[in-house]
């Protein structure tokens, strides 16, 4: 989870006026969810050292594989000037030195991301990084993020690295292990393809280069490889080659046109480049495609697979370096009935698929070559529906040291197996979700009730969970109702068994009276969706900030709109002890209701733009507020506020169990103090 619960860093003391103690160390662990819950768009194995592999994600950073199939996050650092590094646009390993890893970091090429892209280099397996700054942006969460790897290290000379940019910025080269970079002037095929021209979101920019790969046999160790292949998202010519170590480049003659090259992999034993093709780079698209082989000696292109216009194209492609002619390719995005994977043992002359159509009665109409194993993330079926293999399959990797082991990324997890060659013996193998330790959900709400489970979460896309044990993956997500994106969750202060959540669906409000085991839709949820729902101390009132207003329902009777507040986007929080005491904020205005939400009164507080309200669960009327001018405190239900501590900006604030004998809760805040943005804690704020 990308929240305070998931990150490794030092908290510092917050509230006292003296110097902040930045040296205090905390041990943070990830809450185990069992699977990424988000898009894994690149997986790369080391060809130098067995067991070394990395997976990149679009919003969750880079992960390194462990021997037990789990993944270690390498970018769970918190620093508000480095947040865009969680979008990883490409990853490359040095085939000469297993400890070296490089990533292209930067999340959006549009204005949402104020920072330019960087190549991050590590010489210690991703534990620490040094940064090389580029004069333009990268797009780890832009359209086309699952195209093949656009960053690659020369297998004959590790100091040489190529990076293919987006946005028409061309091909870049480093000759000093990623420290400095220069544009390759002779490479002019910067790409023309745009998923949706004019789009101001993730799909309006030039995709640019799709892959870079080398012919390792084109020189010898210590000398730059002569033959280099570059894929470019351009339907008129999409595969380029240099045969003079990158001095000159040209489109390979005779190549297929009309499609985009996705992934290129060179087979030294066959002296051939394999290329997968798709007709778009749309993250959720994929209409048509084929797979070709280019033989460098005869200079011939040969088609080895065609989807015959059945609507999916081809994405992730991998060769088994231990088995000449063994190749696997995934469909780019076959939504129905399921993503497919093709495997050939004879260089693409003949293929078998991970499932075949079988109309004899089962739904979906497929006969599977595998047994589906989601024991590490048993909640996945709720997300995947009737699909097993998944979708958005832009990366697939056979372990170069173990022909039994392969992995591929999907929109929700990583699947893989340790019994891959069962495929060739017509024996089913376990296709397992293998992404534990990897977490890239957008956490939208957390609550920790004083009884029952230690944590209830709600997240984007995959719903959220009741976490009975923080070290064990939850068995199921919130069900009946299940909503993909769930926006808020709250427990009642005096009756913590009562829980409410709101989510993105018509009738998107549900209640539980057993701390989130069973749920029912609020009797008067109507057709409203999303928003932020809060319970009164006794759990009988629900306050729902939705539809630009605040609505209150008691005992599931119809919601009444609070009449005397202007329209706006409200943040609400209720007192945990006093059943009628509710708080609300809208931009810089703070409101209090003492009559269970029948009416709200604006207080005269002038405390800046309000981002979050934290209530003291043990003392009536004791409220803390995070604003763009810092942290503010009130002991009279928000009638008056005093500035608390040295924070100059604050994003979140919440109160928890007391750490001292004073009994006053510990306060946790995400804030900027003395110029350092981070997470802070105070045990000393007794008013
Ligand atoms: C800061 O925290 C460290 C680690 O907990 C502790 O050893 C040190 O005494 C603290 N310094 C101050 C000035 O409180
Ligand atoms: C690899 O297979 C190809 C046929 O696909 C064959 O021509 C070639 O000799 C083989 N190479 C090796 C090293 O086995
Ligand atoms: C496409 O059609 C050809 C010729 O009928 C067939 O051999 C091939 O298997 C088909 N491709 C797929 C992906 O079904
Ligand atoms: C396959 O997965 C199931 C759980 O889904 C597990 O019980 C079984 O042991 C696995 N088999 C192998 C060979 O790993
Ligand atoms: C708890 O909720 C269920 C419906 O989800 C309802 O049938 C039951 O009566 C409720 N129990 C209490 C004690 O409110
Ligand atoms: C955040 O990152 C920037 C850029 O690397 C660095 O200068 C700064 O010291 C970091 N801040 C913290 C609090 O680590």
* Percent of the chain residues topping a pLDDT of 70: 97
Q: What is the 3-state secondary structure (H, E, C) of 417-442?
A: ECCHHHHHHCCCEEEEECCCCCCCCC
Contact 623, 610 (CB under 8 A): no
* 681 CA to centre of ligand 1 in angstroms: 13
Q: What is the pTM for the complete model shown?
A: 0.92
Beta bridge partners of 173: 162, 182
Please tell me the predicted confidence (pLDDT) of residue 376: 92
Report CA(309)–ligand 3 centroid distance (Å): 10
Separation between Cα atoms, residue 149 and residue 142, nearest integer Å = 14
- Does residue 561 lie within any of the structural domains? no
Ligand 1 pocket test target in 21, 26, 659, 681 with most atoms within 8 Å of CB: 21
> Which ligand 5 atom lies nearest to the CA of residue 518?
5
Give the position of tokens 């063994």. Answer: 326
Mean pLDDT check: name the lowest of 93-107, 195-209, 481-495, 668-682: 668-682
Predicted pLDDT at 10: 36
Question: pLDDT tens digits for 37-79?
Answer: 999 999 999 999 999 999 999 999 999 999 999 999 999 887 7
Give residue 272 CA to ligand 2 midpoint distance, Å: 10
How would residue 454 be classed by pLDDT, with cut points 50, 70 and 90?
very high
Ligand 6: which residue has its CA nearest to atom 13? 676
Q: Of all residues in the chain, what percent carry a pLDDT higher than 90? A: 85
> Edge to edge, what strands does the sheet with 630-634 contain?
610-615, 623-627, 630-634, 642-643
Q: Is 461 a catalytic residue?
A: yes
For tokens 């333009």, the residue is: 136
Cβ–ligand 3 contact at 338 (below 6 Å): no
What pLDDT is attached to residue 79? Answer: 78
Closest Cα to residue 619, out of 590, 659, 576?
576
Q: Work out the mean pLDDT of the chain and round it to a whole number.
A: 93
User: To which residue do tokens 């809760």 refer?
Assistant: 665
Ligand whose nearest atom lies closest to the CA of 308: 3
Q: Do strands 12-13 and 676-682 pair parallel, antiparallel, or not at all (unpaired)?
A: parallel
> Over the stretch 167-222, which tens digit does the pLDDT of each residue have?
999 999 999 999 999 999 999 999 999 999 999 999 999 999 999 999 999 999 99
Alpha carbons 75 and 83: distance in angstroms, whole number: 10
* Number of structural domains the chain divides into: 1
pLDDT at 8 over 70: no
The 3 state secondary structure assigned to 645-672 is CCEEEEEEEEEECCCCCCCCCEEEEEEE
For ligand 2, what atom is nearest to the CA of residue 347? 5
CA–CA dist 312, 314 (Å, integer):
7
CA proximity to 343, closest of 398, 295, 393: 398
Domain containing residue 372: CATH number = 2.130.10.10
Residue 457 in any domain: the answer is no
Q: Residue 360 Cα, ligand 6 centroid: separation in angstroms?
A: 60
373 lines ligand 4 (CB under 6 A): yes
HSE-up of residue 632 (Cα within 13 Å, Cβ side): 24
Whether pLDDT at 372 is above 70 = yes
Q: In angstroms, rounded to a whole number, what is the distance separating the alpha carbons of residues 170 and 172? A: 7
Q: Which atom of ligand 2 is nearest to the CA of 346?
A: 5
Please name every residue paired with 161 in a beta bridge, in sequence order, or none if there are none.
153, 174
58 counts as catalytic: yes
Q: Is the CB of 451 under 6 A from ligand 3?
A: no
Report the distance separating Cα 56 and Cα 103, nearest Å: 9
Residue 266 lies in a domain: yes
With respect to residue 222, please indicate whether it lies within any of the assigned structural domains: yes
Each residue's pLDDT tens digit, 491-550: 999 999 999 999 999 999 999 999 999 999 999 999 999 999 999 999 999 999 999 999
pLDDT of residue 365: 83
The pLDDT of 100-106, averaged and rounded, is 98
Note the pLDDT of residue 362. 65
Summarize pLDDT for 646-659 with one digit per residue, the tens: 899 999 999 988 88
Distance, CA of 648 to CA of 324 (rounded, Å) = 62
Helix H or strand E segment including 258: none
Q: Alpha-carbon distance 197 to 110, whole Å?
A: 14
Question: CA-based angle 503:508:512, to the nearest 5?
Answer: 90
Q: What is the pLDDT of residues 26-35, one digit of tens each?
A: 788 889 999 9
- Residue 430 C-alpha from the chain's centroid: 25
pLDDT for position 7: 29
Give the pLDDT of residue 18. Answer: 57
Question: 402: Cβ below 6 Å to ligand 3?
Answer: no
Of the pLDDT bands very low, low, confident and very high (cuts 50, 70, 90), residue 9 is very low
CA torsion sign for 73, 78, 79, 84 is positive
Q: Whose CA is nearest to atom 11 of ligand 4?
A: 430
Contact between 168 and 206 (Cβ < 8 Å): yes
| Residue 607 belongs to some domain of the structure | no
Cis peptide, bond prior to residue 337, ω within 30 of zero: yes
Q: Which of 110-124, 357-371, 601-615 has the highest mean pLDDT?
A: 110-124
In a domain, 675, yes or no: no
Confidence at residue 439, expressed as pLDDT on a 0 to 100 scale: 87
pLDDT at residue 14, rounded to an integer: 53
Edge-to-edge strands, sheet with 12-13: 12-13, 676-682, 666-673, 647-656
* Confidence label for 142 from pLDDT (cuts 50, 70 and 90): very high
Looking at residue 361, its pLDDT comes to 74
Confirm or reject: Cβ of 518 under 6 Å from ligand 5.
Answer: yes
Q: Is the CB of 23 under 6 A from ligand 1?
A: yes
Is 415 within a domain?
yes
Residue with tokens 């990533």: 103
Q: What count of other Cβ atoms lies within 10 Å of the Cβ of residue 373? A: 15
Would you say 397 and 407 are in contact if contact means Cβ atoms under 8 Å apart? yes
Which pLDDT value is given to residue 597? 85
Which residue, by CA, sits nearest to atom 5 of ligand 3? 308
Looking at residue 16, its pLDDT comes to: 53
Model pLDDT, residue 661? 79
Catalytic residue among 69, 89, 154, 461: 461
- Peptide bond connecting 181 to the previous residue in cis, omega within 30 degrees of 0: no
DSSP symbol at 347: T
> Nearest ligand, CA of residue 388?
4
133 Cα: distance to centroid of ligand 6 (angstroms): 15
- CA 511 / ligand 5 centre spacing (Å): 9
**Greater model confidence, 673 or 263:** 263
Q: Which atom of ligand 4 is nearest to the CA of 374?
A: 5
Per the structure, the complete domain to which residue 240 belongs is given by 56-433
Is 124 domain-assigned?
yes
Q: Residue 19's pLDDT band (boundaries 50, 70, 90)? A: low
What residues pair up with 294 in beta bridges, in sequence order?
Answer: 273, 301
Is residue 567 pLDDT above 50, yes or no? yes
């Amino acid at each position: 989870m990308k929240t305070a619960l998931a990150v490794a860093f030092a908290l510092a003391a917050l509230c006292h006026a003296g110097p902040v103690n930045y040296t205090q160390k905390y041990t943070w662990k990830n809450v185990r969810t069992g699977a990424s819950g988000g898009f894994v768009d690149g997986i790369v194995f080391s060809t130098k050292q067995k067991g070394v592999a990395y997976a990149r994600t679009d919003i969750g950073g880079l992960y390194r594989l462990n021997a037990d199939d789990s993944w270690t996050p390498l970018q769970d650092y918190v620093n508000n000037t480095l947040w865009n590094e969680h979008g990883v646009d490409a990853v490359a390993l040095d085939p000469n030195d297993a400890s070296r890893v490089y990533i292209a970091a930067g999340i959006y090429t549009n204005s949402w991301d104020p920072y330019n892209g960087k190549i991050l280099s590590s010489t210690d397996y991703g534990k620490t990084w040094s940064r090389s700054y580029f004069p333009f942006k990268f797009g780890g969460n832009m359209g086309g993020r699952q195209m093949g790897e656009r960053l690659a290290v020369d297998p004959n000379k590790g100091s040489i690295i190529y990076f293919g940019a987006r946005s028409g910025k061309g091909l870049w080269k480093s000759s000093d292990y990623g420290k400095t970079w220069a544009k390759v002037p002779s490479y002019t095929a910067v790409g023309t393809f745009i998923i949706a021209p004019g789009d101001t979101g993730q799909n309006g920019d030039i995709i640019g280069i799709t892959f870079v790969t080398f012919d390792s046999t084109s020189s010898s160790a210590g000398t730059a490889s002569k033959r280099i292949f570059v894929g470019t998202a351009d339907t008129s010519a999409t595969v380029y080659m240099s045969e003079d170590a990158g001095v000159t480049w040209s489109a390979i003659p005779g190549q297929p046109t009309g499609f985009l090259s996705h992934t290129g992999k060179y087979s030294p034993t066959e002296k051939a480049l394999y290329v997968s093709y798709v007709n778009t780079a749309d993250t959720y698209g994929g209409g048509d495609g084929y797979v070709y082989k280019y033989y460098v000696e005869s200079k011939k292109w040969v088609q080895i697979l065609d989807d015959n216009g059945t609507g999916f194209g081809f994405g992730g492609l991998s060769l088994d370096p231990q088995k000449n002619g063994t190749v696997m390719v995934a469909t780019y995005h076959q939504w129905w009935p399921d993503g497919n994977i093709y495997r050939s043992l004879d260089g693409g002359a003949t293929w078998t698929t991970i499932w075949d159509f079988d109309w004899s009665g089962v739904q979906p109409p497929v006969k599977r070559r595998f047994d589906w194993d989601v024991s590490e993330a048993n909640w996945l079926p709720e997300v995947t529906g009737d699909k097993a293999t998944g979708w958005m399959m832009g990366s697939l990797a056979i372990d170069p040291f173990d022909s039994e082991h392969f992995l591929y990324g999907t929109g929700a997890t990583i699947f893989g197996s340790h019994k891959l060659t069962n495929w060739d013996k017509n024996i089913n193998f376990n296709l397992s979700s293998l992404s534990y330790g990897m977490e890239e959900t957008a956490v939208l709400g957390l609550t920790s009730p004083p009884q029952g489970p230690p944590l209830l979460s709600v997240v984007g896309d995959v719903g959220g969970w009741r976490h009975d044990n923080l070290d064990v993956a939850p068995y199921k997500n919130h069900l009946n109702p299940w909503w993909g994106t769930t926006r808020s969750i709250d427990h009642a202060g005096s009756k913590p068994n009562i829980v409410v959540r709101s989510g993105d669906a018509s009738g998107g409000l549900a209640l539980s009276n057993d701390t989130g085991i069973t749920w029912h839709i609020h009797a008067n949820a109507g057709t409203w969706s999303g928003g932020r729902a809060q319970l009164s101390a006794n759990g009988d009132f629900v306050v729902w900030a939705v539809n630009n207003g605040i609505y209150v329902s008691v005992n599931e009777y119809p919601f009444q709109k609070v009449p005397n507040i202007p329209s706006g986007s409200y943040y609400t929080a209720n007192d945990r002890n006093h059943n009628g005491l509710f708080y609300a904020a809208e931009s810089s205005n703070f409101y209090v209701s003492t009559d269970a939400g029948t009416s709200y009164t604006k207080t005269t507080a002038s405390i800046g733009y309000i981002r979050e309200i934290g209530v003291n669960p043990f003392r009536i009327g004791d409220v803390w507020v995070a604003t763009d001018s810092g942290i503010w405190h009130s002991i009279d239900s928000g009638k008056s506020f005093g500035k608390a501590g040295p924070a100059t900006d604050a994003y979140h604030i919440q109160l928890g169990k007391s750490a001292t004998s004073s009994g006053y809760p510990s306060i946790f805040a995400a804030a900027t103090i003395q110029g350092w943005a981070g997470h802070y804690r105070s045990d000393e704020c007794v008013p």
